[in-house]
Every structure is written in C-alpha cells, then in structure tokens.
Structure 1
Amino acid sequence: MQDMPSGILNVNADHLSGFVAERGWRENQLSVRHGRTRFVTGNIASGISITKSDCLLKQDFRSRVDHDAPVAILGFGIAGHSNFSFGRHSKSSLVRPGDIWLYTPDDQAMCRHTPAGQGCQMVAVKFGGHRIASVLDEMADSGVSSVQSGGHAIRLNTGLDMPATLRDLLANPLVTALDRLAAESAALALLVDCLQTMPIIDPGLPGAVSAEEKRVIAQVRDVLTKDLSCPPDLETLARMTGFTHTRLNRCFRKVYGTTVFAWLREYRLEQARILLGRDHQSITDIAYFCGFSSSSHFGSCFRARFGLTPQQYRCCPEK
C-alpha cells in the first residue's frame, strides 16, 4: 500500500488478499495520518468475503482500491457517511446509516472519500463477479432499471435497520467448515434478499412502490425468512405492519409479481435447491429446515418447480 503525496491511500489486489485469513477473522489497521482505520475481514467461501470497517479521522480520508478481477460488493452503512465513485469524473454515491448499495466496479478503481471528524462504520460483502454477473444481466433483460454489471453503483434500499442475516454473518466465527458453510448460505441469501428489493413492476399494475411500501416489504421478508419452518400467517403480518392483508399482497405483486406466500414458497424452494447442491444434510432435514411439512410434500413441490426430484437434482445439480 502506498500513502501518496496527494493523500490517497492506494490498495491493490495483492494487499486485499493479505487482509484475509484462511479461517476466522483477521483484524487489520491501515496506516493513515491523523486518525485510525480499523477493519476486520473474514473469508466466507471461494469468491465471498466480508469486511467491517471502523474509522475516526481528523482529516478527510481518501482511498483507491483496484481489484484484479470483476467483483460485486454489497455495501451497508452503519454509522457516519462516505462517498464512493469509480474515478474522478464519475458520479459519487453517498452511503449513510441504513443504506444498502450494490457496487460492480469490474475493471475500474473504486474510490472512497470519508469526511473528517466523524465515526464511520460500514460492512462490505464481496462476491466474485462470476457469481453475480449473469444474474445482473438477466435482471436487466427482464426490465429491472439500472441493473447492469460493469462500473455501476445502485442503491438498493435506505433507512433500514441492519438485516438479521447480516448480523448473523458478523457473529459467525468462520472457524470450522460448518461455520463457513452456514456463512456461505447466509451470504447468498443476503444477496438474493437485497437484489429482490429492486422493483420489477407488473405492467398491468399502475403505480410504483412507495418508500413506505418498500420498508414494509423489507420488514415482511426479514420476518418470513428468519425461520422458514414457522412463519407467521398473513393476518399476523398485517397487524405487525399496519397494512391490510390485501394491501400486503398487492405490494408483493407490484415488486415480485406474486402474493406474499407464493413468494415465500419460491424462496423456500430456492434455498432447498442451494442446500441440495451439497451433501451435508439429508433430504428430509432440508425439507423441514426450509419449512415443508414432509419430505413427500417437499418432493412434489420441488419436482413441480425444477422438473426433477430432490434426489435427482442432488445427483446432477448442474441441471
């Protein structure tokens, strides 16, 4: 790393790899003038890492990070604020507490500016570009505005409490193989949840999703996915959010094109599909973990959705 005369701290891919321990978390300090920057980094799985940063500076802090391969980064604002951009002439994005941003710098340097005199905390979950580029391109083809891979910053949400899945990730010791397996599943679920906040408006339904509706949808999703085996019913969700059950389903239709519990069923099946790609749990355990009443019910739902039984999919998950 070089602290240049201009005051910009330059970090390249070799430096980034040195920040990550093979297992567990590694605490790092950056050498900066007039303040402190502390961050802890954990290696979740191949192509997935997580970093929590904490800085308090007496002078403005600027850094430039170059990745050696395409990446996608979910950025979560916890405290304070920072500006990010892809070079001097690109538009900057302001990350504040409760904001969630998706960054796809690809071959462009990612620049950060944190103003002096504030305690700034952020969490970044980084995914190798191969894991997400095709997803973003497919979403763009489906008409999701502003979704592309390659040098873009997209605000996915604002003013939210830290997602429960992210809290679980930060509390995971990342020491054992089971720790990292749970973290990988949580990180992918977090990515799916964040991407699903991007509205895909049904052309037959007038009107966009309001800020209040986005907040309620995020709240409902968080509650439903916290325990897939025992979710609250629609009436309970309605009382919890202050929306009628009709309005809740209408909001979900605006964003996902389906009702609340049809969305939950699809989410359960997708989580089951991910777990079946590994050999660590029995099909019965996966069925109950994902909220299906029996392995036979799970099997029939899975086959209707993916065209294969769970056992067939486990034997050839590439299908």
Structure 2
Amino acid sequence: MQLIPVKEEKNTSKSCLRLLIEEEGFRVFQSAEESLAYFHVKGNVETSIVQFYYALQGEFTYSFGPHYQLQLKEGNYFFFYNPENDMVFDIHAEGEVKWVGFFISIQKLHSLFLDQMTELPFLSGENANHKIYEKNEFNSSIRLALLQLFSVKMADNAFRVFTKGKIYEVLSLHFSHKETDVEACPFLKDEANLSKIKKAKEILLARMSNPPSIAALSKEVGINEYRLKTGFKEVYGNTVYGFLLDYKLDHARHLLDQEQQQVNEVAYAIGYSNPSHFIAAFKKKFSITPKKYMQSK
C-alpha cells in the first residue's frame, strides 16, 4: 500500500507528499507545504486495507479506474474499503490544499477497538465482503486533531509518536458514533431479524427489475417497515432503494462490458421504463454516459 508523488511540470522540485508513519498494516500521509500550489499522487492498496482521507483545506479529486471520479471538498472525508479488488487511483488538486490520509489494515483496525472475541460489526461477518464508499463531513474535534499535525514542531521520533496518537484519536472519534448507532438498534443483535434483513436483500436483487414496495417487502419477510429500513442501513450501509440502485447500476455496467446488448436493452433489463432515466443515473454514479462507456472499451 503506497502513495507516490507524480513529477509533472506544475510540481515543484520538492515532494508534494510527506510520509509520517510507515509500519506493517499502517501508513499515514499528509500534504507537504510545497503542495500549496499543486499536487498529484498515485496510489494502490490491497483488498485488506481501509483508506481514510480528510480535506482540511481546498478541494481534491480522487480518481479510480478509467471512468470514476469523486470530489472531496474542504471539511469532508472519504472512507473506502474494497474487499473485492486492489485499488489503483490518482489524487490531484490545484490551489491551496491541505489534507491527511492514512491506510490501515482490517486486522489492525479491529485490534485497536475490540477484544479478541468481537469485531467491528460493519467490517465483520457478511459485511466484510461488501464495498464501503463513505463521504461525509467531519467534526471540529477531528479537524483540530489533524491540524495539529501541521502546526506542532518537535523531534522526528517524538513527532512520530505524536502523529500515531492523533490518528488513533481521529479513529476513535470517527467510529464512536457508529458504535452508538448499533447500540441504538438492538434488534440487529437478534439473529432472526438479521436473517429477515438478509432475506429482504435477496428478494430485492432477485426482483430488481420490478422490486416490491417497502410495505410489501416488510410484510413478506415478517418485519415492520421501521426495522427493515433502519436495519438495512445498519447492515448494508445504505437505504433499501439506495442499495438496490447501486446494485442495478453495477449490474448494468457488467452487462455493458459483455457488449451483447444496446444501452436501451440494458435499461429495460434492470427495470427502467425510460432509458433516459437510466442514462442519467448511470452518468451520476460513474461520471460517464453508458454509450461513451461502451465506446471507451
């Protein structure tokens, strides 16, 4: 797992990236002072690695694959985990920028929080096999902790210990509300209810071209609507229909990759009655139209 500065004409002779910590299953980076005008780094991480990025100043573009881009605005973070494929990506920005990123292995993340008998619920069991792409605002406590990495001056060895303490502080602040959310939904600890939520997911995927309503789905699996919606969000990290939409669009991309169906046919196959609505949704998710995606292959 690594980030590599890219040497381009816009770059200064100095690195735009500073490696703060490098150890087994854990790396911490920050933008260097020289990146206040421009920076561009390439990266790759293995499937067992969780990625965090925090934008303290400026805006950043995170690109992975040939067609996908995400914008990280000041005051927001990315939290990525892809257990299916190694991730190769670019991060670049222009203007005044300040950011912190770190990679941590699933094993190390679990070891920081929990004893040997338990695991973080959203990164264990069936959830460990699901991709996580989370973007949200971070709070003032996290901002203060990360800004200190730029302002504190001390000897290298002492600063390394200081940095690790600050990143652990950020992790504790980041995950504290998630633990609370799980506790606020005690029905998720009931295996019977978990089974019903998983069954609801299976029904949605099997009938994605004509999915049932929330009311019909909750009745079919035997759980009330509130618990279905709340539980689904806790288990799969998305709303019922948000999860379904992501799945449908990923499936549509797979169909386009096979090059056996036209765009309209793919739209109808995944349940769109109006292909233009499919095209808009596809472009919103992948930043490219289905037609241009096919042409780029």
The two structures have a TM-score, normalised by structure 2, of 0.45
The two structures have a TM-score, normalised by structure 1, of 0.42
